[in-house]
Structure 1
Amino acid sequence: MTRRSLGLFWVLVSLLVFLLGHPSTLALGFGKESIADTQISADLVFPDYLERDGIIHNYEQQVRQSPDSFLLLRLLADHYLKRFRERADVEDLLRAEQAARRSLALQPRHNEGASMLLASTLLSQHRFQEALQVVTDAEKLTATDQLASLKASIQMELGDYESAHQFLQTLTSESEDNSGHNAVLARYLELTSHLSVARQQMDSAMQQMDEFYTNPAETRAWFHVRAGDLSFLAGDLARSEQRYREAITLFPHDVAAFTGLARLYAAQHRWQASLEAANQGIEWVPLVETLAYKADAQQALGDSSGAAATQDLIEVVARLSQVKGIYDRALAVYYSEHGVHLPEALEIAQREVAIRDDIYAEDTLAWAAAANGQWQTAQRATRQATRYGTEDPLLRFHRGMIALHSGDRETAIQQLSEALRLNPQFHHKYAAEARQVLADLSPTKVES
């Protein structure tokens, strides 16, 4: 891989840290390796995040001395974006956007790295169409596999899975050795009902990242978190826990990993462990989703006053975090699941669909509409959310329960059974509810 290609690769990987018709065949070149059994030792981690402030300070000084250097501005944008990933400070995201724009203004051609950085900052602000336009413009100047992978990622965020599939098929065989490309491919496979192969693909990408000690710790951790998420969907809870813990070994501030553990432990009704994991994540960044698991754990442990205080904090964080809608979806999910602020949950979900009509925006809308008693909207949205057969038990549960309310007994049994088949412990409350509904409808359909 050339130095130029290596730079573009890191920008694509940085983007993927943000992210996350049913084709009959997939000519995409995925591997057939078995699920890896990787273990991470702390002495094999390069703690670059500890030096981030110093690196940024150095580049800021150099940019002041050489304000017309497109390369220095691009490098500075890259490190601002890395620090945003590590600390979730939106100001760093805006700094990265400004530096990337300045780099492109100075060097519009042969500067794909700056285009990809700019697209990544826009994606993180949920400015999806702007991000897509940036990549499309860059492709007109220089078409590369990295830009194609990035475009496919953006198209999946927008719900255009057919176009994403077409772009993934155009990539060269060299891309198969690129962990960033493999992660994009794993996401596509996950969303289009190929969960088992997606797990294989993601583990392959994770192993590629772990081969080099100097790869950024937070980025390496992201690959482990994604592998953990896919394992959870498949009901492989032991492997999921392992992956999340590996991510924390790599990057001790990894809020996504702590949130994943809090969800996993809640699903197992290991409430004290869930509370501890949520608290550790909140210590770094108080996300709505992580706080929600804390509140649920406190309630389950009998700490009603603590749960109420956490719920109040969620409201504060929600108000402070709604910078250009970045955290809207998580808030709509929380409101819908807990039966609070339901009209606002529906409004948020509708806004999400307008911004990016992907599978999970439709699912959020379906459940929010159901919570508000708008069953026709719920039926339409849940059919859209499951139209590719995505093997996510929560999507299947939502469709099953909406079908049940609509009098479609057959679909309800089919979808609820599939949710439990995928992961018998997919949710701390809904898994038991699915079992009870199936027992009432058809006892022979209940999974053990």
Structure 2
Amino acid sequence: MKYISLFFLIAGFMSCSHPKQDGITNSEDYDRYLVASAVDTTSKYFELWNSKIKSDSIQLVSFGIVAGEYGRYFQKTGDIRFLKKAEQALKKATDIAAIGRAGYYRALARNYISQHRFKEALEVGKKAYAVGNGLDQTKALLFDIHMELGNYETARAYLDSIGDFKGFDFLIRLAKWKDHKGDLSHTIRLMEDATTKAELSKNKDLMLWSYTNIADYYGHAGNIRASYEYYLKSLQLDPGNAYAKKGIAWIVYSHEKNPVEALRILNSVTESNKSPDYHLLKAEIADYMGDTALYRLELEQYTKEVAHPFYGQMYNVYTIDFHLNESKQYKKALHLAQQEVDNRPTPESYSLLAYAYFKKGEPERAVALMKEHVEGKTFEPTVLLRSAEIYKATGNTIKAESLKEMLMETSYELGPSTSDKIASL
């Protein structure tokens, strides 16, 4: 079970309160952040502005502030209802705004990105561009959207048109571009510069974003200690940050092979965070441990939660992988994979579609899709693994062996449960 490895977390068989001799983590570093506490999803400030909104309200400031608070609650809880409420407030704001409309359009587009409604995000981003205010911010937004849609040259053009080449927004997007091109060392240097700028600004949100993202990049590069330290720095800023806890759990699981401790960390997260993907990760770890009962329980929990209509296509990638590798419902997986390509025609989406055809017994079609839409267009380890499996099964052992060599260097990212699959290529 490997679909969870897209999320970057951790495993092993012994629970530990102290690091192993060759370990990096120490539970004493993070235990105080695992204490369960209710997430505050209201405040006097929020109630004040929320009370100003009536069905016929034209209180523009109220809509903007309330939408921002709902977005913050979503980040803290993973509760999709808050993201949808933020969308409603932002749509109302774009309808009534005479001044600052471009900013509301940008906020609505980012809300759509979070919901994986990328084509709708693009349409709203274009409206922000037409308004004209804050053009560099809109160009940065359009870069993000086109990267999500696989329109890479268009994205690069927007990046090149941003005026401030030394600013935070430019640096983090150039880092994303370099990562897309497989230049990880340059990516990390750019993120280090961006992190320094965030720290100098003393902007907590920018610092938190920088710390969690550079932690991910350090992990990709094999610098696990630096990754761990930045996840800890994230928790020092935001003790309830679920993403940072997930990152530490991945280190414990994938690098230190301590699944019991990884599950302990994740259990503390799922007490207050409703994001369905945590159950897939817990299922992966349970499978690695051989705990069949927990494995099935977590998969059932995922399928139950992700069925909520508010999620739309947000979890398509995970659900497709679930059907391909667990439920064996290949027709359903193929249908969802085609939806994902229509919604987000990236090499990653096409690799899922190709893999669905492969599993369904149409290897020639799978190879054709890989050659046309995937080969040489991404360095994502999960995509390389699918490609290698397809090429080996269809007799192209040279290509499969070449990909295997690349995959051997990504064992941390893919996780322990994929080691045997890579070795068998």
Into which bin does the TM-score normalised by the smaller protein fall?
0.7 to 0.9
Q: Matches of 2:322 and 2:207 in 1, distance apart?
A: 29
Q: Deviations over 1:376-419 (max 9, x none)?
A: 34324444664455333332222222111121121111111012
Percent identity over the alignment is 20
- Structure 1 373/245 Cα, relative in aligned 2: closer, same or farther at 3 Å? farther
Counterparts of residues 349-360 of structure 1 (less than 5 Å): 349-360=337-348
Given that 1:109 and 1:141 are in contact with CA atoms closer than 8 Å, whether structure 2 keeps it comes out as no
Q: What's the counterpart of residue 444 of structure 1?
A: none
Q: Distance in 2 between matches of 1:103 and 1:282?
A: 33
CA contact (8 A) 1:128 1:355 kept: yes
**Could you list the per-position Cα deviations for residues 153-184 of structure 1 after superposition, in whole angstroms to 9, with x for gaps in the alignment?**
01111111110011101111x25222x33323
Partner of 1:181: 170
Report deviation, 1:323: 2.6
SS in 2 for 1:284: coil
Q: What's the TM-score once normalised by structure 1's chain length?
A: 0.77
Q: 1:303 aligns with which of 254, 268, 291?
A: 291
Residue of structure 1 aligned with 2:228, choices 223, 241, 244 = 241
Q: Aligned residue for 1:124?
A: 114
Match for residue 281 of structure 2 among 272, 293, 302: 293
Aligned to 2:390: 402
SS at structure 2 position matched to 1:68: coil
Give 2:64's aligned residue. Answer: 74
> How far apart, CA to CA, are the structure 2 residues paired with 1:265 and 1:374?
39
- Following superposition, which runs of at least 4 residues in structure 1 exceed 6 angstroms of deviation? none
Aligned to 2:138: 147
Contact 2:79–2:275 at 8 Å: present in 1 too? Answer: no
Please tell me whether residue 250 in structure 1 is matched to residue 246 in structure 2: no
User: Which position in structure 2 is the counterpart of 1:19?
Assistant: none
Q: Cα distance, 1:221 vs. partner?
A: 3.2
Residue type at the aligned position of 2:174: L
**Per-residue deviation, 1:300:** 3.1
Distance in 2 (CA, whole Å) between partners of 1:191 and 1:250 is 29
Does residue 224 (structure 1) correspond to residue 214 (structure 2)? The answer is no
TM-score by length of structure 2 reads 0.81
Is 1:208 aligned to residue 197 of structure 2? yes
- Residues 1:261 and 2:252 are matched in the alignment: no
Give the superposition deviation at 1:229: 2.3
Tell me, in whole angstroms, the C-alpha distance in 2 between the residues paired with 1:236 and 1:214. 26
CA distance in 2, matches of 1:265, 1:116: 38
Q: CA deviation at 1:121?
A: 1.8
Cα deviation per residue 1:4-56 (whole Å; 9 max; x = unaligned)?
Answer: xxxxxxxxxxxxxxxxxxxxxxxxxxxxxxxxxxx99x9xxxxxx85853332
- 2:375 equivalent to 1:375: no
Measured in 2, the distance between the counterparts of 1:271 and 1:314 equals: 19
Q: Which of 281, 305, 323 is the aligned partner of 2:269?
A: 281
Most deviating of 329-338 and 378-387: 378-387
Is 1:98 aligned with 2:88? yes
Partner AA of 2:110 in structure 1: S
Tell me if structure 2 keeps the 8 A contact 1:74–1:100. yes
Change (3 A) 1:58 1:84: same
Residue of structure 2 in register with 1:165 after alignment = 156
Q: Which amino acid aligns with 2:137?
A: Q
- Aligned counterpart, 2:128: 138
Q: Is the 8 A contact 1:289 1:334 kept in 2?
A: no
- In the alignment, the residues of structure 1 paired with residue 237 and residue 323 of structure 2 have an alpha-carbon distance, to the nearest angstrom, of 33
1:271/1:89 Cα in 2 relative to 1: closer, same or farther (>3 Å)? closer
> 2:354 is aligned with what amino acid?
A
8 Å Cα contact 1:122-1:130 kept in structure 2? yes
CA distance in 2, matches of 1:255, 1:70: 32
Q: Measured at CA, do residues 102 and 344 of structure 1 come closer, stay the same or move farther in structure 2, by a change above 3 Å?
A: same
**Residues 285 and 399 from structure 1, CA distance in 2 versus in 1: closer, same or farther, beyond 3 angstroms?**
same
> In 1, distance between residues paired with 2:374 and 2:219?
18
For the pair 1:313 / 2:304, whether they are aligned, the reply is no
- State the shift of 1:129 in Å: 1.6
Alignment partner, residue 429 of structure 1:
417
Looking at structure 2, the residues matched to 50 and 203 of structure 1 have their Cα atoms a distance apart, in angstroms, of: 32
> Is the CA contact (8 Å cut-off) linking 2:84 and 2:310 kept in structure 1?
no
In structure 2, give the amino acid aligned to 1:334. F
State the one-letter code of the partner of 2:141.
L
Structure 2: gaps spanning 5 or more residues: 1-28, 33-38
Q: Deviations over 1:101-125 (max 9, x none)?
A: 2222222454221111111122222
Q: Which amino acid aligns with 2:225?
A: A
Change (3 A) 1:297 1:377: same
> In the alignment, what sits opposite 1:16?
none
Q: Note the 1:48-59 alignment, pairs <5 A.
A: 53-59=43-49
Q: Do residues 191 (structure 1) and 191 (structure 2) align? A: no
User: Comparing 257-266 with 194-203, which one deviates more in the overlay?
Assistant: 257-266
- CA RMSD, Structure 1 to Structure 2 (Å): 3.0
Q: Which amino acid aligns with 2:343?
A: I
Letter of the 1:160 counterpart: N
> What is the number of residues matched between the two proteins?
389
Distance 1:310 1:424 in 2: 23
Structure 1: tracts of 5 or more residues without a match: 1-38, 43-48, 438-448
Tell me the amino acid that sits aligned with residue 270 of structure 1. Answer: N
